[in-house]
C-alpha cells in the first residue's frame, strides 16, 4: 500500500505541478480544450515534460532549507525515489520506460456542465468533471494501466476489472470492494480519467468545443506573458448569473446587478520566471466597461504609477502600498455610495445621510485648514501616493524590551505627490496655525522646524498620555511631496539618503511587476524577521510552532509583490510574485 501511495503521489505531482523551464504558450497548454464542450464552465491545462522532476527537486530542496519548512527530501531525490518505486512495481521499471513512454506534454481537468456544478447536489459533480491526458503511445498507456495502476490499486481488495477494447479506444472500469470506481478510456492520442461513466466521451467528442470559443480564446489573449506552465479558465460570468438567478432577492439592487452582469471570464497563468521565483497572473475580463462606469466603478482616470516615486521611501522598508490618483478612488467611492443609496431600499443610509456626512467632514477640515476636503486635499491628490510601514531598530525582541520602550518601535509614512505645491503648503501652514488651541487642551505639543529646508509641523503627544511613551507625528509639504509620518519617514522624503530604488530586495521584486502597473503592493519578509524573535520570546510550548511557521512564511516571501492594472478593454490584470531566498 505504501508503495502505491508513493507512486500515486509522485505521478500526481508530475501531472499537476508547474514546470519552471521552457514554459509553453497558452495555446499549447490548452490543446486538450478540443475535448471539452464550448460552454465548459472551467478548464485547467498543466504542462508536463522531462525536465519537471529535476526542476521540482531543485525547488523542493530550496524550500526545505528554509527554517520551519518541515520537509524531508529523499536521499535519492524525487527522480531516484520514483525510479525505485516503479522498479518494485515493474521489474526494471523507471520513470522513462513506465511513464514517459506514453505521457505527452500536457494534462487537463475541466467541467462539462455548469448546472450540475452549481446545483445543491455535490454528488453529481463527478459526473461532469473530466481529466484528460495527452499521450504518445496507446499501447504503452494500456500497459501502464494493466501492469502498474491496477496492481498498485490492488491492496488486498477484490478488484473488479472490466475491459472494453474497441478499435478507437480501450476502456477500463476498476471497482474496489467498497464500490469506488475509476474509469480510464484510452484513445490513440488522449486518455480520459473520471470517477463517473457519465463524464466519459464514449459516444463521441463534442461537436462545438471549448477551443473554438471566442470567449475562451479572447480571455487567454489577455494574459500578459507569452508562456506559462499552467493556465486556468473559469467562466465567472456564468457562475455569477446562476448566483443571481438562485438568490434574486440578495442581488436585487440594480447597481449590484450591473456589476455582476458585466463580469465575464477569468483566466490564470502560472510560471517560474527563474529558479527562485514563482509568478501568478490573473486576468478578469468584463463584457461592458462603460456599464461599470455608470455605477461609479471607473478605471479610466487611473494612470500608471511612477516607479521613481519610490525615491521618497527609505531602503529596507518591508511593507509598501503604492498607487495613484486617490482623488479618482474617492470620487468612485462617493458615486458608488450614492448609487447604492438610490437603488437599494434596504440600505442603512440615504443620499441625504451621505451629503450630511460630507458637510460634517468639511466643517472639521475647514476649521483646521481653511479649505473643504475637496479644496484642500482631494483636488490635488491625482498623482502618486504611497503608504508604508517599517520596523525600527528598537523593535522589541522580548517582553522585557517591549515594556522598556520609550519611543515608537515602528516607522510609517503616508506620501502624496504634490501636484499643486502652493495649495499643499498652504494647508500645512494653516494646520500649524489652527491646531494650536485644540492641541493645548489635550496636552499635545505643536511646533514647527525646518527639515531639508522645508517648514515641518511636529505634533507630539504628552508623556502622561494614553500611550506608554510620547508619539511624534510630522507633517510637511515640499514642491514634490506631501508627507505625514514619523520623523524618519519625513526625513527620508525631504532629505533622502538611500531609498527603495537602492534596495536590492525591492529591485528584485520590481523586476517582475506588470508593465505600467496602477497599483503595487510590496513585502520583504527578510526585513520583518524581528517579528519572529518577538514571537519566539513570548511563545509557550503550545505556540512555539506558530513562531516557526511565521519564520517559514517570512523567509518564503523573501521579496514579493502584487501589481495590478486595467487594460483599454477593461480587463483587470493582477500579478502576484514571490521570490525565494
pLDDT of residue 198 exceeding 70, the answer is yes
Among 78-92, 131-145, 385-399, whose mean pLDDT is lowest?
78-92
Per the model's pLDDT, the better-predicted residue between 353 and 1 turns out to be 353
Mean pLDDT along residues 471-487: 96
pLDDT of residue 162 exceeding 90, the answer is yes
Q: What is the pLDDT of residue 525?
A: 94
How many residues comprise the chain?
A: 581
DSSP H helix total and E strand total for the chain = 21, 20
Q: What is the pLDDT of residue 16?
A: 36
- Contacts for 1-9: CB closer than 8 Å, 24+ residues apart: 1/155, 3/85, 3/88, 3/89, 3/152, 4/89, 4/152, 4/153, 4/155, 6/81, 6/85, 7/82, 7/85, 7/86, 7/89, 7/148, 7/152, 8/152
Cα gap 545→576, rounded to integer Å? 27
Q: What is the pLDDT of residue 473?
A: 96
Q: What is the pLDDT of residue 74?
A: 66
Give DSSP secondary structure letters for 255-295. HHHHHHHHEEEEEEEEEEEETTEEEEEEEEEES-HHHHHHT
Among 77-86, 220-229, 245-254, 365-374, whose mean pLDDT is lowest?
245-254
Answer yes or no: are the C-beta atoms of 105 and 48 closer than 8 Å.
yes
Residue 318: all three cell numbers together:
518591508
pLDDT of residue 565 exceeding 70, the answer is yes
What is the per-residue pLDDT across 372-416, written as a single tens digit (0 to 9) for each? 998 889 899 999 999 999 999 999 988 888 888 888 999 999 999
Among 176-190, 206-220, 252-266, 296-310, whose mean pLDDT is lowest?
252-266
Kindly list the distances between the CA atom of residue 162 and the CA atoms of 171, 180, 324, in Å, as whole numbers in the listed order: 8, 14, 63
Mean pLDDT along residues 490-514: 95
pLDDT confidence tier of residue 21, bands split at 50, 70 and 90: very low
Give the containing element (helix H, strand E) for 388.
Answer: strand 384-391
User: What burial letters (b/e) apply to 286-304, b meaning 16+ CB within 10 Å?
Assistant: beebeebbebbbbbeebee
Among 157-161, 219-223, 359-363, whose mean pLDDT is lowest?
157-161
Most confident of 235-244, 284-293, 346-355, 486-495: 486-495
Per the model's pLDDT, the better-predicted residue between 135 and 14 turns out to be 135
Cα gap 122→140, rounded to integer Å? 35
pLDDT confidence tier of residue 19, bands split at 50, 70 and 90: very low
pLDDT confidence tier of residue 11, bands split at 50, 70 and 90: very low
Q: What is the pLDDT of residue 260?
A: 74
Residue 460 pairs with which residues in a beta bridge?
A: 445, 472
* Helices assigned H by DSSP within 396-497: 399-403, 421-442, 487-494
Residue 437: all three cell numbers together:
488651541
Angle (CA) 100 101 106, round 5°: 50
Q: What is the pLDDT of residue 12?
A: 42
What is the per-residue pLDDT across 35-54, written as a single tens digit (0 to 9) for each? 999 999 999 998 877 765 56
pLDDT of residue 326 exceeding 60, the answer is yes
Per the model's pLDDT, the better-predicted residue between 80 and 4 turns out to be 80
The rounded percent of the chain whose pLDDT value lies above 70 is: 88
pLDDT of residue 59 exceeding 70, the answer is yes
Kindly list the distances between the CA atom of residue 520 and the CA atoms of 326, 329, 342, 480, 574, in Å, as whole numbers in the listed order: 14, 15, 33, 20, 10
Instruction: Assign 3-class secondary structure to 59-71.
Output: HHHHHHCCCCCCC
* Mean pLDDT rounded to a whole number for the chain: 86
Phi and psi at 210, nearest 5°, equal -60, -35
Q: What is the pLDDT of residue 45?
A: 95
Q: What is the pLDDT of residue 218?
A: 95
Q: What is the pLDDT of residue 124?
A: 84
What is the per-residue pLDDT across 108-129, written as a single tens digit (0 to 9) for each? 999 999 988 988 888 788 899 9
Residue 475 pairs with which residues in a beta bridge?
A: 457, 484
Among 98-102, 369-373, 537-541, whose mean pLDDT is lowest?
537-541
- Unique residue bearing C-alpha cell 505504501: 2
Mean pLDDT along residues 11-33: 59
pLDDT of residue 555 exceeding 80, the answer is yes
In sequence order, what are the residues at sequence separation of 6 or more whose Cβ sits closer than 8 angstroms to the Cβ of residue 145? Answer: 172, 184, 186
Neighbours of 542 (CB within 10 A): 7
Q: What is the pLDDT of residue 345?
A: 63
What is the per-residue pLDDT across 87-100, written as a single tens digit (0 to 9) for each? 777 778 787 888 88
Cα gap 122→116, rounded to integer Å? 8
Phi and psi at 17, nearest 5°, equal -90, 160
Among 287-296, 391-400, 482-491, whose mean pLDDT is lowest?
287-296
Q: What is the pLDDT of residue 7?
A: 38
Mean pLDDT along residues 414-424: 96
Q: What is the pLDDT of residue 4?
A: 40
Cα gap 435→460, rounded to integer Å? 12
Residue 181: all three cell numbers together:
470506481
* Helices assigned H by DSSP within 159-264: 214-221, 236-246, 254-262
pLDDT of residue 431 exceeding 60, the answer is yes
Q: What is the pLDDT of residue 452?
A: 95
Q: What is the pLDDT of residue 526?
A: 92
Phi and psi at 504, nearest 5°, equal -60, -40
Phi and psi at 320, nearest 5°, equal -140, 135
Phi and psi at 154, nearest 5°, equal -80, 90
Mean pLDDT along residues 478-494: 97
Q: Where are the domains of the chain?
A: 2-212, 291-579
Q: At what angle do helices 544-556 and 530-538 cross, to 10 degrees?
A: 170
pLDDT of residue 478 exceeding 60, the answer is yes
Among 379-393, 437-451, 498-512, whose mean pLDDT is lowest?
437-451
Cα gap 152→89, rounded to integer Å? 7
Most confident of 45-59, 119-133, 345-359, 564-578: 564-578
Burial of 218 (0-12, 13-18, 19+ CB in 10 A): middle
Nearest to 417 by CA among 565, 561, 313: 313
Q: What is the pLDDT of residue 351?
A: 83
Amino acid at each position: 500500500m505504501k508503495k502505491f501511495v508513493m507512486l500515486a503521489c509522485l505521478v500526481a505531482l508530475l501531472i499537476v505541478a508547474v514546470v519552471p523551464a521552457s514554459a509553453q504558450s497558452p495555446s499549447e497548454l490548452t490543446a486538450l480544450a478540443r475535448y471539452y464542450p464550448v460552454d465548459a464552465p472551467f478548464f485547467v491545462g498543466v504542462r508536463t515534460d522531462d525536465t519537471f522532476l529535476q526542476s521540482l527537486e531543485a525547488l523542493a530542496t530550496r524550500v526545505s532549507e528554509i527554517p520551519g519548512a518541515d520537509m524531508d527530501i529523499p536521499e535519492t531525490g524525487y527522480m531516484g525515489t520514483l525510479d525505485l518505486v516503479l522498479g518494485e512495481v515493474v521489474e526494471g521499471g523507471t520513470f522513462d520506460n513506465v511513464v514517459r513512454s506514453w505521457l505527452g506534454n500536457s494534462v487537463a481537468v475541466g467541467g462539462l456542465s455548469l448546472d450540475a456544478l452549481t446545483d445543491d447536489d455535490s454528488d453529481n459533480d463527478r459526473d461532469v468533471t473530466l481529466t484528460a491526458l495527452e499521450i504518445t503511445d496507446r499501447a504503452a498507456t494500456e500497459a501502464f494501466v494493466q501492469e502498474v495502476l491496477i496492481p498498485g490499486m490492488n491492496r488486498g481488495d477484490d478488484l473488479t476489472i472490466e475491459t472494453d477494447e474497441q478499435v478507437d479506444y480501450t476502456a477500463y472500469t476498476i471497482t474496489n470492494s467498497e464500490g469506488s470506481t475509476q474509469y480510464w478510456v484510452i484513445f490513440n492520442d488522449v486518455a480520459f480519467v473520471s470517477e463517473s461513466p457519465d463524464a466519459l466521451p464514449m459516444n463521441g467528442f463534442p461537436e462545438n468545443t471549448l477551443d473554438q470559443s471566442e470567449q475562451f480564446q479572447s480571455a487567454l489573449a489577455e494574459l500578459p506573458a507569452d508562456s506559462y506552465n499552467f493556465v486556468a479558465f473559469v467562466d465567472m460570468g456564468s457562475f455569477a448569473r446562476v448566483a443571481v438567478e438562485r438568490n434574486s432577492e440578495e442581488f436585487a439592487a440594480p447597481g449590484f446587478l450591473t456589476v455582476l452582469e458585466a463580469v465575464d471570464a477569468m483566466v490564470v497563468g502560472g510560471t517560474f520566471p527563474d529558479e527562485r521565483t514563482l509568478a501568478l497572473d490573473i486576468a478578469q475580463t468584463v463584457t461592458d466597461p462603460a456599464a461599470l462606469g455608470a455605477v461609479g466603478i471607473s478605471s479610466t482616470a487611473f494612470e500608471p504609477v511612477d516607479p521613481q516615486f519610490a525615491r521618497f521611501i527609505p531602503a529596507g522598508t518591508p511593507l509598501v502600498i503604492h498607487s495613484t490618483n486617490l482623488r479618482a478612488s474617492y470620487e468612485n467611492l462617493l458615486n458608488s455610495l450614492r448609487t447604492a443609496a438610490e437603488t437599494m431600499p434596504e440600505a442603512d443610509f440615504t443620499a441625504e445621510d451621505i451629503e450630511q456626512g460630507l458637510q460634517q467632514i468639511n466643517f472639521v477640515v475647514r476649521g483646521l485648514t481653511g479649505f473643504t476636503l475637496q479644496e484642500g486635499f482631494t483636488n490635488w491628490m491625482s498623482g502618486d501616493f504611497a503608504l508604508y510601514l517599517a520596523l525600527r531598530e528598537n523593535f522589541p525582541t522580548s517582553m522585557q524590551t517591549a515594556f522598556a520602550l520609550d519611543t515608537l518601535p515602528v516607522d510609517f509614512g503616508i506620501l502624496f505627490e504634490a501636484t499643486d505645491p502652493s495649495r499643499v503648503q498652504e494647508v500645512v501652514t494653516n494646520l500649524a496655525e489652527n491646531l494650536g488651541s485644540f492641541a493645548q487642551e489635550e496636552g499635545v505639543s505643536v511646533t514647527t522646524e525646518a527639515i531639508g529646508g522645508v517648514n515641518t509641523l511636529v505634533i507630539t503627544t504628552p508623556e502622561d498620555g494614553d500611550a506608554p511613551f510620547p508619539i511624534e507625528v510630522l507633517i510637511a509639504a515640499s514642491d514634490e511631496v506631501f508627507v505625514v509620518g514619523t520623523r524618519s519617514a519625513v526625513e527620508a522624503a525631504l532629505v533622502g539618503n538611500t531609498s527603495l530604488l537602492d534596495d536590492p530586495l525591492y529591485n528584485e521584486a520590481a523586476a517582475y511587476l506588470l508593465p505600467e502597473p496602477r497599483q503595487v503592493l510590496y513585502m520583504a519578509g527578510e526585513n520583518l524577521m524581528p517579528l519572529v524573535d518577538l514571537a519566539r520570546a513570548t511563545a509557550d510550548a503550545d505556540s512555539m510552532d506558530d513562531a516557526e511557521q511565521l519564520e517559514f512564511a517570512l523567509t518564503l516571501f523573501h521579496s514579493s509583490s502584487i501589481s495590478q492594472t486595467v487594460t483599454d478593454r477593461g480587463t483587470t490584470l493582477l500579478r502576484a510574485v514571490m521570490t525565494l531566498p
